Structure 1
Amino acid sequence: MPNEQLRILLQRMPKAELHIHIEGSLEPELIFELAQRNGVKLAYESVESLRKAYAFDNLQSFLDIYYAGASVLLKEQDFYDMTMAYLRRAAEDNVRHAEIFFDPQTHTARGVPFQTVVDGIWRACQDGPISATLIMCFLRHLSEDDALATLEEALPYRDKIIGVGLDSSEVGHPPEKFCRVFERCRQLGLHLVAHAGEEGPPAYIETALDLLNVERIDHGVRCLEDPLLTARLAREQIALTVCPLSNIKLRVFGDMGEHNLLALLDAGLAATVNSDDPAYFGGYMNANFLAAFDALPLTAAHAHQLARNSFTASFLEPEAKRAFIDELDACFDHVKV
């Protein structure tokens, strides 16, 4: 367990969050509040019974309840309230910048207009206490044609979206399924990221890099199974947006003591720490840092590296990155790293 000085440092240091699904920040209390506001009947009688249902043991069982929770999001104000709640919570953890994933297909499939989704989330980002930008994710269990149609819907709101990603069920849905839509997004000047190497094999990381031309890998923890891939990720400094508590909840690792975060750093990889779906996986940013540092022999030097990686790997402008890194360095001025 880290000493008290290190625990305080983890909580106080500035950091960026690069892997947060905004729908996954929807706490049971807000789900019930929005259900009541919108007249949506839930399958759970109370906040407590809903929270008890968060007993999934793999990605698909989690996604089933995740989509059920999203059913209460119907109006622009709902998306605003959800996003603002996350931004305020992130600010408490000294997150200075967040690049927020959102899943429009989850909502348009229910008849919610694309504009309702993006305007609510984006407006909260403008009003919120921290810097925040939007990455639109395609659901990989759906077809590429569906993704292409979603991209067309997004074009009028191009100025509100900095990039695209690929999420949802990984196994059986390799990155190459989405080559056309990612090429179109690249031509539009959007940043490209993709989930790969969480439940799926290391080969998915390679195809995400080679066929989708992504700039960051979301999760990526299985890369160490392939030494050549690991060497490439280190050489090219492809950032991995690692989500420790998520990895334990979804049984990617048996417990936090088995997590490979330290091994990733030791291999020279640009790993970062993130919360993924914090309402479901048991913790926001600082909880993820503390859980990892409690279980693994990580030091203040690792803390600094992880936080620095988060700003370096962000899609912020160079001057904004520099300012955040300067703030980070100042936080460590009197700390032996």
Structure 2
Amino acid sequence: MTITTPAVPLVEKAARAPKSELHIHIEGSLEPELIFALAQRNNVKLAYDSIESLRRAYAFTDLQSFLDIYYAGASVLLTEQDFYDMTMAYCERALADNVVHTEIFFDPQTHTERGVPVATAVAGIDRALADAEQRGLTSKLILCFLRHLSEADALATFEAALPLFESYPRMIGVGLDSSERGHPPSKFGRVFEKARAKGLKLVAHAGEEGPPSYIYEALDLLKVDRVDHGVRSIEDAALVTRLADTRVALTVCPLSNLKLCVFDDMTKHTLKDLLDAGVAVTVNSDDPAYFGGYVNENYTAIIDALKLNDQEVYTILRNGFEASFVSPAERDALIAKLDAYWSGTTR
């Protein structure tokens, strides 16, 4: 009697695959339940009277309407233990989604303006990441500057954080996030030059709501190693060719793009067009507590809406490991783990 192995649906196959996550704002992983728990612990008054009313506020019309809620949620983070609890909650979700390597963004200026030292945030985040590493989740930490604030503020933040880059080996780079419109990457040329001189990895949000010219600025002026989002690069054929030729990865966040009305329908997302053009696109969750899904939900959304095939999903997963800021040996090991899983799973 011949026994045949049933085919595994591609969505399920992707969900079980070892994967990376390269675009996750840790403050954006704060679920409403934890926001209320921390608010109670720290005696912080919220503008919402219940978890349900807070969730109802997650009806965003653009990036700024999201950021208003995002910064309000972050107001409950005051102690090292708060940052630990938030980060560990994300790590639990990542592990459940078979994420084996993550590179986390955090926004120190969101906290220093409330009197919370950068060192407090880093200590709590790093301690949680160290605990998660014991369970198979390796990680890096990237300090992001808020682009709606001045470059002088970013420079001061960078100088204050410099000792932490030496104290916490997991902290390996700087990034640029927050409101894109009206705040081009060129605004932050000096602080990125200082970070580059220190040998740090560089990333920047560009080409989400901002135009393709912002991606050029991120590449040519900031000299970034990766571009966060970058979905509007499809509007410039020369830029797409350049991204494909140089293998500068895009950390795409599909559900975020939909929630923030970058696309009004997932079937209109540019990810597959970019993938077809040879661009190293990756899939990530951005701010999963606010955008309705962690990394596996993002894979499910694009597989269904864009009709991706087995090879396309494998390529995206592999891109995530190839674009990660790990050593060559670690990268090879991660890709080998993916290959062993993918070839051993029928579809």
Give TM-score, length-normalised by structure 2. Answer: 0.95
Say which SS state the counterpart of residue 134 (structure 1) adopts. Answer: strand
Q: Which amino acid aligns with 2:154?
A: A
Report the CA distance shift for 1:257/1:162 in structure 2 as closer, same or farther (over 3 A).
same
- Opposite residue 88 of structure 1, the aligned amino acid is E
Cα distance, 1:170–1:75 mapped onto 2, change above 3 Å:
same
CA distance in 2 between counterparts of 1:124 and 1:239 reads: 27
Q: Post-superposition shift, 1:86? A: 0.3
* Residue of structure 1 in register with 2:3 after alignment: none
Give the one of 139, 147, 150 matched to 1:143.
150
How far is the alpha carbon of 1:335 from its aligned partner? Answer: 4.8
Question: Does 1:31 find its partner at 2:35?
Answer: yes
Amino acid at match of 1:133: K
Alignment of 1:303 with 2:303, yes or no, is no
Does structure 2 conserve the Cα–Cα contact (< 8 Å) formed by 1:300 and 1:336? no
Q: What is the rounded CA distance, in whole Å, between the counterparts of 2:23 and 2:242 in structure 1?
A: 22
Q: Is 1:153 matched with 2:172?
A: no
* Secondary structure at 1:171 match in 2: coil
Q: Which residue of 1 aligns with 2:91?
A: 87
1:59 match: 63
- Displacement of 1:334 after TM fit? 3.7
Q: What SS does the corresponding residue of 2:34 show, helix, strand or coil?
A: helix
Structure 2 segments unaligned to the other structure (5+ residues): 1-6
Structure 2 CA distance for aligned equivalents of residues 235 and 295 of structure 1: 27
Greater CA drift, 294-303 or 12-21? 294-303
Question: Which of 207, 226, 229 is equivalent to 1:216?
Answer: 226
CA offsets, 1:194-227, max 9 Å, x none?
Answer: 0000000000000100000001000000001001
Q: How does 1:102-181 map to 2 (within 5 A)?
A: 102-128=106-132, 129=135, 130-159=137-166, 160=168, 161-181=171-191
Q: Deviation at 1:4?
A: 5.3
Q: Equivalents in 2 of 1:291, 1:10: separation in Å?
A: 11
CA distance in 1, matches of 2:345, 2:44: 51
Equivalent of residue 198 in structure 1, options 196, 199, 208: 208
Q: 1:289 aligns with which of 299, 308, 312?
A: 299
2: distance between equivalents of 1:186 and 1:333? Answer: 39
Which residue of 272, 275, 278 maps to 1:268? 278
C-alpha separation in 2, matches of 1:114 and 1:293: 39
Matches of 2:57 and 2:8 in 1, distance apart? 34
Taking the aligned partners of 1:300 and 1:13, their CA distance within structure 2 comes to 12
Name the amino acid aligned to 2:145.
Answer: F
Counterparts of 2:129 and 2:334, CA distance in 1:
18
**What does the per-residue CA deviation read over 1:21-70, in whole Å, with 9 as the maximum and x for residues that have no partner?**
00000000000000000000111111111011111110000000000000
1:101 matched residue in structure 2? 105
Number of the residue aligned with 2:193? 183
Match status 1:229 vs 2:239: yes
Aligned to 1:258: 268
1:254 shift after superposition: 0.8
Deviations 1:164-218 (A, max 9, x none): 0000000000000000000000001100000000000000000100000001000
The Cα shift of 1:19 comes to 0.2
8 A contact 2:44–2:76 mirrored in 1: yes
Q: Which amino acid aligns with 2:49?
A: E
Secondary structure at the counterpart of residue 110 of structure 1: coil
- AA aligned to 1:56 is F
Letter in 1 for 2:72: A
Structure 2 CA distance for aligned equivalents of residues 246 and 85 of structure 1: 20
SS of the residue 1:332 aligns to: helix
Q: Which runs of 4+ in 1 moved over 2 A?
A: 334-337
Question: CA contact under 8 A between 2:8 and 2:346: conserved in structure 1?
Answer: no
Match of 2:202, SS?
A: strand
